[in-house]
Amino acid sequence: MGFDSSIAFDESRIHAAAVYCSDGRWGEQMDDFLHRELGLPRYDRLVVPGGPAALAGDMAFWREAELLDKHLRFLIDVHALERVVLIAHQDCAFYTRTLGVSASELEARQNKDLAAAARRVRGLGPVDVSTYRASREGGVVRVEQVRKTQTPDRKPPTQVCENPPKTPTQVENPDPG
Ligand SMILES: [Zn+2]
């Protein structure tokens, strides 16, 4: 007796992992997003309450953060991860109950935490890290990329060119004769 899955085993790894919240109401949509939108079948899962929240540097969760670091390092080394996807979600009870974040502050806090968590994960190894937030309207779940808006990469201003660039007509007709 036993249960035989109709899904065949595929031995190949895809060298990607996702970190998201345990809340099972969002799990199927996370799979759907990662499989179909990001093209990551069989991604490694690191699923804990709050998802990447504990990696954001709050000292109250340093133990959780160290454990997540350890798990991620293992996956980076042994499963040769090249990519890590961090996903937060709307109405996350880890934030509203454990951290006491109000509904109105939640999205901004999660966006800030995603940026901090991404920095931390990049420090663990040579992985590409991207951040997303899932929200819903009625029964529809949407997952959107969270770009760094809190601390944009500020490159030093490029030096002003002493010679102004050529006008388009000069460039387009370098040799009119
Ligand atoms: Zn949650």
Residue whose structure tokens are 């670091």? 69
Q: Each residue of 53-77: pLDDT tens digit? A: 999 999 999 999 999 999 999 999 9
Q: Each residue of 5-18: pLDDT tens digit? A: 999 999 999 999 99
- Closest alpha carbon to 145 in 169, 168, 118: 118
Chain CA centroid to CA 1, Å: 41
CA distance 115 to 71: 20
Confidence of residue 161 (pLDDT cuts 50, 70, 90): low
Distance (angstroms) between ligand 1 centre and the Cα of 23 equals: 5
Q: What is this structure's pTM?
A: 0.83
Q: Which domains does the chain have, with CATH numbers?
A: 16-150 (3.40.1050.10)
14 near 42, Cβ under 8 Å? yes
Residue whose structure tokens are 């954001």? 56
Distance (angstroms) between ligand 1 centre and the Cα of 150 equals: 22
Distance (angstroms) between ligand 1 centre and the Cα of 158 equals: 43
Residues whose CB is under 5 A from ligand 1 (ion)? 21, 23, 92
